[in-house]
A = this chain, B = another copy of it.
Amino acid sequence: MRPKLEDVAKRANVSKTTVSRVLNNRGYLSQKTIDKVNQAIEELNYQPNVVARQLYNKKTNIIGLLFPTVANPFFGELVEALEKKLYEDGYKVLIGNSMNNTKKESDYLNQLLSEQVDGLIVGTHNQGIQEYKYQNLPIVAIDRVMNEDIPVIESDNYQGGRFATKELIEQGAKNIIHTNGPSELETPAKRRRIAYEETMKEHDLIPNTITLDFNIPYQEKKKIFYDLFETYPDVDGIFASNDMDAALILQVAKEKRIRVPEDLLLVGYDGTLMTRSILPDLTTIIQPIDEMAEMAIDILMKRINKKETEKEYILPVKIWRGKTSKKDSYK
Please report A residues at the B interface, Cβ cutoff 8 Å: 2, 45, 47, 49-52, 54-55, 60, 62, 69-73, 76-77, 79-80, 83-84, 87, 92-97, 104, 110-112, 114-116, 133, 135-136, 218, 244, 247-248, 251, 273-275, 277-280
Contacts and interface: CB of A to CB of B under 8 A. Distances in A.
Given A112-B92, A248-B277, A80 B71 contact: yes
B51 A247 contact: no
Contacts of A277: 218, 244, 247-248, 251
Contact of A136 (B2, B52, B251, B279): B2
A133 B46 CA distance: 11
Nearest to A221: B277
Number of copies: 2
Nearest to A246: B278
For the complex of A and B, 7 pairs with smallest distance between CB atoms: A76-B76, A71-B80, A247-B278, A50-B116, A71-B77, A70-B70, A51-B54
Contacts of A71: 73, 76-77, 80, 273-274
A267 to B, nearest CB: 16
B83 A95 contact: yes
B2 A115 contact: yes
Nearest to A78: B71
A52 B49 contact: no
20 contacts: A45-B133, A45-B135, A49-B115, A51-B115, A51-B116, A54-B54, A70-B70, A70-B76, A70-B83, A71-B77, A71-B80, A73-B274, A83-B96, A87-B96, A92-B116, A94-B95, A244-B278, A248-B277, A251-B280, A278-B279
Given A51-B54, A116-B51, A94 B96 contact: no
A49 to B, nearest CB: 6
A70, A71, A84, most chain B CB atoms within 10 A: A71
Nearest to A276: B218
A54, A96, A135, A273, most chain B CB atoms within 10 A: A54
A51 B58 CA distance: 9
Contacts of A110: 47
Given A96-B83, A115-B51, A275 B278 contact: yes
Contacts of A50: 112, 115-116
A97 B84 contact: yes
Contacts of A116: 50-51, 92
Contacts of A79: 70, 95
A80 B69 contact: yes
Nearest to A248: B277
A115 B46 CA distance: 11
Given A47-B114, A60-B51, A97 B73 contact: no
B94 A62 contact: yes
Contacts of A93: 94-96
Contacts of A52: 55
Contacts of A84: 97
Contact of A87 (B72, B104, B247, B275): B104
A135 B46 CA distance: 10
